[in-house]
Structure 1
Amino acid sequence: MMRAWILPMLFVLCGSVVATGQIFQGNLGTATALLLAFLALAGVSSPLIFPKTIGTREAQRRSAVDGRPVVFWRPGCTYCVRLRIRLGRNARQLHWVNIWRDPAGAAAVKAANDGNETVPTVVVAGQSHTNPDPEWVREQLM
């Protein structure tokens, strides 16, 4: 759990240090802009922007019932963030599995990607797709 928050905390810490340096140099506007930029980066890289994650077994069970894709992801992954943002509200319709919280999810991703934890890995109807185009994923929801 703590590992998921390392990158966002580093962004907040670095932003605070940089902003403080700018304040001491008398650049309040620059300090504010930089701090806001670092806070935005922290927010985007945090697990908070992702829908509630569930376990692999539960995701597979739900997917079998409703036919929706399962997305295996991990915090700090820029491709996962890209997928999440590009899907917009449709992201809530998918079943999200955080591979750092779920060892079975990590094993499923490794099995689909020749032993690598490459995410996002999207499973649709039993077929794995590594880092698919967000538009393609959206089409799978139709």
Structure 2
Amino acid sequence: MRRVWRVPALFLLSGAVAATGFALGGDPVMAAVLLVLFTLFAVVHSPLIFPGPVPAAEALRRAAADGRPVVYWRPGCTYCLRLRLRLGRDASRLHWVDIWRDPAGAAAVRAATGGDETVPTVVVADRPHINPDPAWVRRQLPPRT
């Protein structure tokens, strides 16, 4: 659980250190800009920007019932972030499994990728797709009802 917050915490800490340096150097405007920028980086790389993760078993059960893809991801992954942001509101229509929170999810990714934890791994109809194009993922979504 704590591991998912390491990257955001590192961004906040780095931003605070950089901002302090500029503030002590007599440039409060640059200090404020850096603090805001690093805070935004922290939020974007935090679990807060992703829909609520579910355990892998629950995601697979839901996917079997509703036909929606399962996305295995981890905080701090730029490719996962790219997928999430490019999907926009449609991201909430997928089932998201945080592999840092769910060992079964991490094992599923390793099985699909030959031993690596390469994410995002999107499972559609029991078939894994490693780092797929966001437009392709959007086309895999069932029509809205």
Is the partner of 1:106 in helix, strand or coil? helix
The SS at the match of 1:61 is helix
Cα distance per residue 1:57-101 (max 9 Å; x no partner): 111111011100000011111111111111111000000001111
Residues in 1 aligned to 2:15 and 2:56: alpha-carbon distance in whole angstroms: 36
Aligned residue identity for 1:119? V
Partner residue, 1:12: 12
**In structure 1, what is the Cα distance between the partners aligned to 2:103 and 2:21?**
42
Tell me whether 1:117 sits opposite 2:117 in the alignment.
yes
| C-alpha distance in 2 between matches for 1:41 and 1:100 | 19
* 3-state DSSP of counterpart to 2:97: strand
- Please give the alpha-carbon distance, in whole angstroms, between the structure 1 residues aligned to 2:64 and 2:100: 23
Calculate the aligned-residue CA RMSD, in Å. Answer: 0.7
State the AA in 1 paired with 2:129.
H
Give % identity: 63
Question: Matched residues in 2 for 1:82 and 1:42: separation?
Answer: 15
Give me the whole-angstrom Cα distance separating, in 2, the residues matched to 1:30 and 1:67.
Answer: 49
2:89 match: secondary structure:
helix
The SS at the match of 2:54 is: coil
Deviation, 1:7, is: 0.9
The equivalent residue for 1:86 is 86
Provide the TM-score with structure 2 as the length reference: 0.96
Which ranges in structure 2 are unaligned for 5 or more consecutive residues?
none
Between the two proteins, the alignment pairs up a number of residues equal to 142
The correspondence of residues 18-97 of structure 1 with structure 2, limited to 5 A, is 18-97=18-97
Task: Show structure 1 runs of 5+ residues with no match.
Answer: none
SS at match of 2:75: coil
Counterpart residue number, 2:129: 129
Report how far residue 25 of structure 1 moved: 1.2
The superposition leaves residues 6-30 of structure 1 with CA deviations (integer Å, 9 ceiling, x where unpaired) of 1111111110111111111111111
Query: CA separation in 1, counterparts of 2:132 and 2:122?
Result: 7
Establish whether residue 104 from structure 1 lines up as the match of residue 108 from structure 2: no
